[in-house]
Chains A and B, each alone.
Chain A
């Protein structure tokens, strides 16, 4: 059954990749989906088709230069224009970019070097609070409480320090990753997972409570407003002159900022992808894999496991730090609620759904989960609430939709979805939807017998 599907898919791929077919298909898809999204900015199927068109640039077999050109055109020209037309899509794509970077970072820790990290959001939080603190009035409000803060306090730094802080975020998060990594080297496996969980919670609780002796984080209320980098003079004007006729309405300041943040996020993601690719293929990447598979043998081969593990922690953390800075600026607001254990597990879900250790897989996982989270589920909730207000009836059961409890709101049940996805993936496809080639080989092998972990002295 499984094999026949596979062969059919292969035949389909071969059929699609004949001659000039992929070029026509890809461009056709892009034109069609762009027209659809442009025509009905609110329709979700057309947006999904749009995302599919974007991925088709990658799947179809085309000349490398053409692929690259199409991708750049798509990312830099099409998306901002369509995004200016409907800002919500730009937001969705921005979130996909943010979570892709986070998932890729976690992928280095979990996927490449096999260290399970449940506190990954802590590094993201550190990045976000770094700019949240220095990029707002907070340093001037250290002695003010939540109630006594003056509204006209000057900002601490000029807004354009933001760009510097992206790099600072990388460094600070990496250093924190090293600090967390140092003691963590002594433990492995499930204990490591628990330590990282505890660490993540500690960071969140600190963010929640550090408003007291000195008001660093402004407690549960979070810090706001946080500065955005200044928009260069004339950009808004130019944007309006060029794309106003296409978009159909004036591009406002906020929309221009959305486009700017999207472009920065895109840059960061591209950088992250390139770094990850290079790392995966390098000596370091192979060493990580070796450590993951068998630390003892890796050590015997002359690999310095401790150094490399620390490196994995630092690299993974640094991606999250950069994205945290970006996130704080784009939201102009940070609060501890964003960095919960739920979010850490959400990112882990992306990695596992897509395929541990596989770069394409992780990006697909991030896209799917983000779309599910902020688009499909919410529109489903909306659909249900519309049904509730209508007087339609389920025919045979004679059940009125208006009886449906208004507590049934699918967009609030992320945990259920993350949880079920994790369990099902672990049972049926531990390698993920698009497994990394190496990983696939390993996980399909069954251990010789069930006695792999029977060592250890008397228990219970």
Chain B
């Protein structure tokens, strides 16, 4: 045991946790400060008056009151985005190509996880499971989703990307779009043939919908849903594991070597194809886990569920600097926060003129602006522009 512990590089476990804490706190604090300044500036505006007449609070206290909930939501969704973004960024790092089908890999994970939970529910197991049991079953669903997604990602790589590896850049990209579309319909076809409908709802079980109180200030209670806690913990655990795999193991060294230079890596005795498959496996299973977490958080999924989170996670990966693992974390967190803030406050501040439905557009705008003005992303690693 001691020997085993001795080989574990603790630094590589603590470092990413620290990074994540910094990113969460930093992004959250930055967004909050900007929001509060905005609220101060908006005192006396139409939105302020409207709030005072309808809810009896000024815009500043309204903002402050809802801030904790918005931050928690942003953090939860940020972790989901980060987990998906890692899949994009790993594949980009190794192959320099955008795996558009990753959003459907995510959807497949969500469906497999939810289907397994529905099956367990049908057997009556979930109803009898206690608190611990329900967490265990959710963990099981998470594993099933990860396995399905990872397997599918490897399969997709083998069938649709490997034959095109030396083609011009646009060729695999178009192939990826094709895979993405085909998978959407494959999910829909299987679901509608087996169940007669193509959307699924995750069964309610355990205490996932309960609220945990974090802080009590006078009569005000700041609480967090159990499922948000589960999502955050699961995401943190996986992100740490991934970081460890890439940074501190021999396989991770091989992945990094292949990302740097495939030919030289091959000369050093690394099986490049195997490593690329492994990258897809790891990235895909992270995406699948994110899918199950997403299903837990938003309860309802359909075959096209992957498109929006997929493109947002891609935006996150680009925002952080694509090809960069830490960047994906940062990007996911920032994007989650911005989206959560936009969804919560846009409607109030513009008096209903631009509602929460514009939050998707915010992600697209960020994507466009980042690509145009800072294509290297926030963490600024050199990404060559290719024709």
A interface vs B, CB < 8 Å?
A: 114, 116, 118, 183-184, 186-191, 193-195, 197-199, 201-202, 205-206, 208-209, 212-213, 294-295, 341-342, 345, 348, 352, 405, 407-408, 413-416, 418-423, 426-427, 430, 443, 446-447, 449-460
**Cβ-based interface call for B147 (8 A):** no
Q: In the complex the two chains form, is B381's CB within 8 Å of A459's CB?
A: yes
Q: In the complex the two chains form, is A116's CB within 8 Å of B175's CB?
A: no
Chain B residues lying within 8 Å of A294, measured Cβ to Cβ, are 387
Chain B residues lying within 8 Å of A114, measured Cβ to Cβ, are 170, 387
**Cβ-based interface call for B94 (8 A):** yes
Q: In the complex the two chains form, is A454's CB within 8 Å of B263's CB?
A: yes
Q: In the complex the two chains form, is A453's CB within 8 Å of B355's CB?
A: no
Q: Which 10 A-B pairs have the closest CB atoms?
A: A422-B178, A419-B182, A419-B181, A416-B185, A407-B192, A460-B93, A459-B93, A459-B323, A213-B353, A423-B178
Q: In the complex the two chains form, is A415's CB within 8 Å of B182's CB?
A: yes
Q: In the complex the two chains form, is B169's CB within 8 Å of A423's CB?
A: no
Chain A residues lying within 8 Å of B174, measured Cβ to Cβ, are 116, 348, 352, 422, 426
In the complex, chain B residues 344-366 whose Cβ is within 8 Å of any chain A Cβ? 350, 352-355, 357-358, 360-361, 364-365
A298 to chain B, nearest CB (A): 10
Q: In the complex the two chains form, is B163's CB within 8 Å of A187's CB?
A: no
Q: In the complex the two chains form, is A201's CB within 8 Å of B178's CB?
A: no
Known: A405-B193, A419-B184. 15 other contacts (CB 8 A): A187-B375, A201-B360, A209-B357, A213-B354, A342-B181, A405-B192, A418-B182, A419-B178, A422-B178, A443-B168, A450-B165, A456-B382, A459-B323, A460-B255, A460-B256
CB-CB nearest in chain A for B255: A460
Q: In the complex the two chains form, is B160's CB within 8 Å of A458's CB?
A: no
Q: In the complex the two chains form, is B178's CB within 8 Å of A190's CB?
A: no
**Cβ-based interface call for B90 (8 A):** yes
The residue among A183, A450, A459 with the most chain B CB atoms within 10 A of its own CB is A459
Q: In the complex the two chains form, is B164's CB within 8 Å of A427's CB?
A: yes
CB-CB nearest in chain B for A419: B182
Q: In the complex the two chains form, is A430's CB within 8 Å of B169's CB?
A: no
Q: In the complex the two chains form, is B365's CB within 8 Å of A446's CB?
A: no
Partner of A422, one of B98, B177, B375: B177
Q: In the complex the two chains form, is A212's CB within 8 Å of B352's CB?
A: yes
**Cβ-based interface call for B228 (8 A):** no
B344 to chain A, nearest CB (A): 17
**Cβ-based interface call for B207 (8 A):** no
Q: In the complex the two chains form, is A426's CB within 8 Å of B259's CB?
A: no
How far, in whole Å, are A416 and B181 apart by their CA atoms in the complex?
6
B381 to chain A, nearest CB (A): 6
A297 to chain B, nearest CB (A): 11
Chain A residues lying within 8 Å of B172, measured Cβ to Cβ, are 426
Q: In the complex the two chains form, is A201's CB within 8 Å of B364's CB?
A: yes
Q: In the complex the two chains form, is A416's CB within 8 Å of B189's CB?
A: yes
Main secondary structure of the interface of B (DSSP, over half): helix
A419-B387 CB under 8 A given contacts A116-B170, A194-B314: no
**Cβ-based interface call for B179 (8 A):** yes
30 example contacts (A-B, Cβ-Cβ < 8 A) are as follows A114-B387, A188-B387, A189-B386, A190-B170, A191-B375, A194-B371, A195-B368, A201-B360, A201-B361, A202-B365, A202-B368, A209-B357, A213-B350, A294-B387, A295-B387, A405-B192, A413-B189, A416-B186, A419-B177, A419-B178, A419-B180, A419-B183, A423-B182, A426-B160, A426-B172, A453-B169, A459-B93, A459-B256, A460-B256, A460-B324
A415-B185 CB under 8 A given contacts A189-B387, A194-B371, A460-B93: yes
**Cβ-based interface call for B290 (8 A):** no
Q: In the complex the two chains form, is B361's CB within 8 Å of A202's CB?
A: yes
A450-B166 CB under 8 A given contacts A188-B385, A191-B385: yes
Count of A-B contacts judged by CB separation below 8 Å: 204
Chain B residues lying within 8 Å of A408, measured Cβ to Cβ, are 189, 192-193
Q: In the complex the two chains form, is B381's CB within 8 Å of A421's CB?
A: no
CB-CB nearest in chain A for B364: A198
How far, in whole Å, are A118 and B180 apart by their CA atoms in the complex?
14
CB-CB nearest in chain A for B367: A198
How far, in whole Å, are A408 and B384 apart by their CA atoms in the complex?
46
B238 to chain A, nearest CB (A): 16
**Cβ-based interface call for B236 (8 A):** no
Q: In the complex the two chains form, is B163's CB within 8 Å of A427's CB?
A: yes
A456-B96 CB under 8 A given contacts A202-B361, A422-B178: yes
Q: In the complex the two chains form, is A459's CB within 8 Å of B192's CB?
A: no
B interface vs A, CB < 8 Å?
A: 89-90, 92-94, 96-98, 159-160, 163-175, 177-186, 188-189, 192-193, 196, 198, 246, 255-256, 259-263, 307, 311, 314-315, 318, 323-325, 350, 352-355, 357-358, 360-361, 364-365, 367-368, 371-372, 375, 381-387
How far, in whole Å, are A215 and B198 apart by their CA atoms in the complex?
33
How far, in whole Å, are A341 and B182 apart by their CA atoms in the complex?
14
A423-B160 CB under 8 A given contacts A194-B371, A209-B358, A430-B171: yes
CB-CB nearest in chain A for B182: A419
Q: In the complex the two chains form, is B383's CB within 8 Å of A422's CB?
A: no
CB-CB nearest in chain B for A213: B353
Q: In the complex the two chains form, is A212's CB within 8 Å of B353's CB?
A: yes
How far, in whole Å, are A114 and B381 apart by their CA atoms in the complex?
27
Chain A residues lying within 8 Å of B159, measured Cβ to Cβ, are 423
Q: In the complex the two chains form, is B160's CB within 8 Å of A451's CB?
A: no
How far, in whole Å, are A205 and B311 apart by their CA atoms in the complex?
15
CB-CB nearest in chain B for A341: B307
How far, in whole Å, are A407 and B177 apart by their CA atoms in the complex?
25
Q: In the complex the two chains form, is A187's CB within 8 Å of B175's CB?
A: no
How far, in whole Å, are A419 and B290 apart by their CA atoms in the complex?
24
Q: In the complex the two chains form, is B364's CB within 8 Å of A422's CB?
A: no
Q: In the complex the two chains form, is A449's CB within 8 Å of B381's CB?
A: no
Chain B residues lying within 8 Å of A414, measured Cβ to Cβ, are 185
A423-B166 CB under 8 A given contacts A183-B372, A186-B372: no
Q: In the complex the two chains form, is B387's CB within 8 Å of A345's CB?
A: no
B253 to chain A, nearest CB (A): 11
CB-CB nearest in chain B for A198: B364
Q: In the complex the two chains form, is B184's CB within 8 Å of A415's CB?
A: yes
Chain A residues lying within 8 Å of B96, measured Cβ to Cβ, are 453, 456
Partner of B169, one of A186, A189, A198, A208: A189
How far, in whole Å, are A209 and B171 apart by their CA atoms in the complex?
34
Q: In the complex the two chains form, is B166's CB within 8 Å of A447's CB?
A: yes
A110 to chain B, nearest CB (A): 8
Q: In the complex the two chains form, is B178's CB within 8 Å of A421's CB?
A: yes
How far, in whole Å, are A205 and B164 apart by their CA atoms in the complex?
34
CB-CB nearest in chain B for A193: B173
A422-B260 CB under 8 A given contacts A198-B311, A407-B196, A453-B386: no
Q: In the complex the two chains form, is A194's CB within 8 Å of B375's CB?
A: no
How far, in whole Å, are A452 and B96 apart by their CA atoms in the complex?
11
Chain B residues lying within 8 Å of A416, measured Cβ to Cβ, are 181-182, 184-186, 189
CB-CB nearest in chain A for B170: A116
How far, in whole Å, are A195 and B365 apart by their CA atoms in the complex?
9
A189-B256 CB under 8 A given contacts A423-B178, A460-B94: no
The residue among A189, A342, A446 with the most chain B CB atoms within 10 A of its own CB is A189
Partner of A183, one of B94, B192, B368: B368
B369 to chain A, nearest CB (A): 9
B355 to chain A, nearest CB (A): 7
